[in-house]
Amino acid sequence: MKITVLGAGLIGRTIAIDLRDKYGADVVKSVDNSEAQLMNVPKGIRTCCVDLSGPIDTVIEESDLVVCAVPGFLGYHVMKQIIEAKKNVVDISFFKENPFSLHNLAKQNGVRAIIDAGVAPGMCNAILGNVYSQMDSVDSYECYVGGLPVFPKPPFNYKSPFCPDDVIQEYLRPSRLVENGHVEVYPALSGREMIDSPGGQLEAFRTDGLRSLITTMSDKVPNMVEKTCRYPGHAELMAQMKELGFFNEKALHITTKMLKTAWKLDSYEDEFTFMRVVVKGKRKNKPHESACRKNDGLVVTYNLFDKYDGIFSSMARTTGFTVNACVSLILDGTIQETGVLAPEIIGQDQKVFDGIMKYLNERNVVYKVQVNYTED
């Protein structure tokens, strides 16, 4: 068995190390277009420096499965090549193109292609899928999520645990959400609200985080929204920079270069990941309960608060270990369906969902679940 991890950044490196610890160093290969990034990969894991913007067929030809952890602007190009090579793939590149345009190709090639397999998107989608499968109906879904430094430094009060280019795109791309069964579009950074978290008071704002849920669940869940969380004031600063032209076509390259330096998260820096998923709907009554209980409302809340553990950053843990849970479930035959598979779809399979949660729990990434009943 051979696994190739494309991308050796903070998260890609964590994925490779965890896979090495589970399957052995001879199984895993780490690939990146930067020798400097590959220098950070521990000895014992095979490395290969390749321009990932070009053909990758030779670098993955011996692979049984490929993890795609490249920046978003490369994601679709790389994913398509992996599927064409008939390799199973788990992807966290979060590319902007429509992943389902590759569904038929993946089906034809017998490929299991799990997309957006991180924490958000990723686990939040799987949670919605799992809760949906256990309810008569779901009325609403809300996700609040952010990865932040424990000790914020002005003016940004933020450090990026993954590719800063992708963070910037979150602030620029119009935000799609579902209201009363209709897809609505709002400016990114809008709809700000304060929210309490174990990491302190945060400000949440709209971003385009629903992604595949727009396609797979908008006809089933009439109200869905995802909001990114930052320390108060960050969203307004980003909005001002946007208004002043820092993110226009001519200035974007310079701004991105500047923010890569300002937002660089050191591997030893204290940071945390916060996520709250709230799903509201109608419960399925159990055989021993009276029919009148069937109309009870149900609110299911999943909370995650994870911190840097002294080895891996929290965002690398919560994202990378979710990826590897999916890798494990493909390799052990639990996930057998082919095609482009969104987390909210595979999450409806209880065995798959339990397998992901078990993998995360074993690595001390713990989701706390709260269930409340409400009378109609």
Q: 178-226 pLDDT, tens per residue?
A: 999 999 999 999 999 999 999 999 999 999 999 999 999 999 999 999 9
Q: How many CA atoms lie within 13 A of 45 on its CB side?
A: 28
Give the model's pLDDT for residue 226: 97
Domain positions in the chain:
3-114, 123-314+366-374
Work out the widest C-alpha separation in the chain, in whole angstroms. 65
The confidence band for 79, taking pLDDT boundaries of 50, 70 and 90, is very high
pLDDT value at residue 283: 80
What is the C-alpha R_g of the chain?
20
- The correct answer on CATH 3.30.360.10 for the domain covering 123-314+366-374 is yes
Task: Name every residue whose Cβ is closer than 8 Å to that of residue 253 and which is 6 or more positions away in sequence.
Answer: none
Q: Three-state SS for 306?
A: strand
Q: What is the dihedral of CA 129, 71, 234, 153, to 10 degrees?
A: 120
Q: CB within 8 A of 292, min separation 6: which ones?
A: none
pLDDT at residue 235, as a whole number: 97
pLDDT of residue 286: 61
Scan for tokens 């692979």, then name that residue. Answer: 63
**Residues making up the chain, counted from first to last:** 376
Could you give the angle at the alpha carbon of 317 between the alpha carbons of 173 and 332, nearest 5°?
100
Q: Band the pLDDT of 266: cuts 50, 70, 90.
A: confident
**What is the structure's pLDDT at 288?**
57
Classify residue 32 by its DSSP letter.
E
Contact 160, 11 (CB under 8 A): no
3-114 has CATH 3.40.50.720 classification: yes
- Tell me: pLDDT of 374 over 90: no
Q: Which pLDDT score is estimated for 38?
A: 96
In angstroms, the CA 282 to CA 287 distance is 16
pLDDT of residue 168: 92
> At 293, is the pLDDT very low, low, confident or very high (cuts 50, 70, 90)?
low
pLDDT in tens, 202-211: 999 999 999 9
Instruction: Please name the helix (run of DSSP H) or strand (run of DSSP E) that holds residue 128, with its range, or none.
Output: helix 123-133
User: Predicted confidence band at 290 (pLDDT cuts at 50, 70, 90)?
Assistant: low
**Strands in 26-98 per DSSP E:** 28-32, 46-49, 65-68, 88-91
Q: What is the pLDDT of residues 325-345, one digit of tens each?
A: 999 999 999 999 999 999 999
Predicted local distance difference test score (pLDDT) of residue 163: 76
Q: Are 256 and 71 in contact (CB under 8 A)?
A: no
Q: How would residue 242 be classed by pLDDT, with cut points 50, 70 and 90?
A: very high
Q: Give the pLDDT of residue 287.
A: 58
